Structures are given as C-alpha cells and as structure tokens.
C-alpha cells in the first residue's frame, strides 16, 4: 500500500501571477499531481528583502537571474546594466513586484524559476 500525503502541501509555495500563462500552467501541473500548493500572488502581496534573498539563495541564483525584463521597466530603470548591483535590483523588485520573473516554486527539494512549467517536476 502506498501512502500519499493527505494534508495540505503547505511546504510547497508557488509565487504566482494569474495573468501569466506559464504561471497558470505550472499551478495546473502541481494540481494535476495531486498537490495543492500555497499560492502567493506576489504582484498583490509584494516582496520583502528577506523573501527575495532567501529565495535566490535557495535557488542558487542572483537577483539578476530572476529579473523580468519583458513587460517591465527594468531597462528604463537601468536594472539590466551589468554594473547594477543585486542589492539595487532587489530594492527595485520590492518597489515594483512585477520585476520578478515567474513562476517561482519552492519545495523541500529546492526552488526554481519554472519557465517552462515542466521544470517544476524536478522539485517534486
């Protein structure tokens, strides 16, 4: 007899933007696997420095690696300039949450920017 988790999967978090097709597909993929993650609509909820620093550390990336350029003011703000520090990028992400690329999923196995959506499977 195999045992499946019957409790809510609070240890799985998706930083989600419902306006994003990849984010919706990633959430659907998790649900298709029988998982109900904690859904954080980060555009509404916003970010803290601590959240972003913890996520990038868990992901093993820099803030620049999760910076969303398309459809944002990243270029106008100078955030794509190689001399811009991670600290400045994080400060901008806190001021304008849409600057964080999505979806990011965090599980006990790690965290990743799930573009494409199937990357989430490696975290399960």
Residue 56 lies in a domain: yes
Q: What pLDDT shows up at residue 1?
A: 35
Structural domain range at position 61:
12-123
In tens digits, what is the pLDDT along the chain, a chain of 124 residues?
Answer: 334 444 457 799 999 999 999 999 999 999 999 999 999 999 999 999 999 999 999 999 999 999 999 999 999 999 999 999 999 999 999 999 999 999 999 999 999 999 999 999 999 9
Residue 94 lies in a domain: yes
Q: What pLDDT shows up at residue 8?
A: 54
**pTM, whole model, 2 decimals?**
0.90
Cα–Cα distance for residue pair 93/90, rounded to 1 Å: 5
Residue 22 lies in a domain: yes
Taking alpha carbons only, the member of 37, 13, 36, 16 closest to residue 25 is 16
H helix count then E strand count, the chain: 4, 4
Q: What pLDDT shows up at residue 10?
A: 73
Residue 7 lies in a domain: no
Q: Which of 14, 20, 40, 113 is catalytic?
A: 20
What is the count of structural domains for the chain?
1
What CATH number is given to the structural domain containing 90?
Answer: 3.40.30.10
**Helix ranges (DSSP H) in the chain:** 21-32, 42-45, 49-59, 86-95
Residue 20 lies in a domain: yes
Residue 114 known to be catalytic: no
Q: How many degrees, rounded to 5, is the angle at CA 27 between CA 25 and CA 28?
A: 60
Residue 2 lies in a domain: no
Residue 86 lies in a domain: yes
Q: What pLDDT shows up at residue 4?
A: 45
């Amino acid at each position: 007899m195999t045992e499946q988790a019957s409790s809510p999967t609070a240890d799985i978090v998706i930083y989600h933007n419902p306006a994003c097709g990849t984010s919706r597909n990633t959430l659907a993929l998790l649900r298709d696997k029988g998982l109900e993650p904690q859904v954080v609509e980060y555009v509404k909820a916003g970010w803290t420095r601590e959240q972003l620093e913890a996520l990038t550390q868990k992901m093993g990336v820099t803030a620049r690696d999760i910076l969303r350029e398309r459809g944002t003011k990243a270029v106008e703000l100078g955030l794509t300039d190689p001399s811009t520090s991670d600290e400045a990028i994080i400060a901008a992400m806190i001021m304008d949450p849409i600057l964080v690329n999505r979806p990011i999923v965090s599980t006990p196995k790690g965290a990743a920017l799930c573009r494409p959506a199937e990357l989430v499977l490696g975290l399960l």
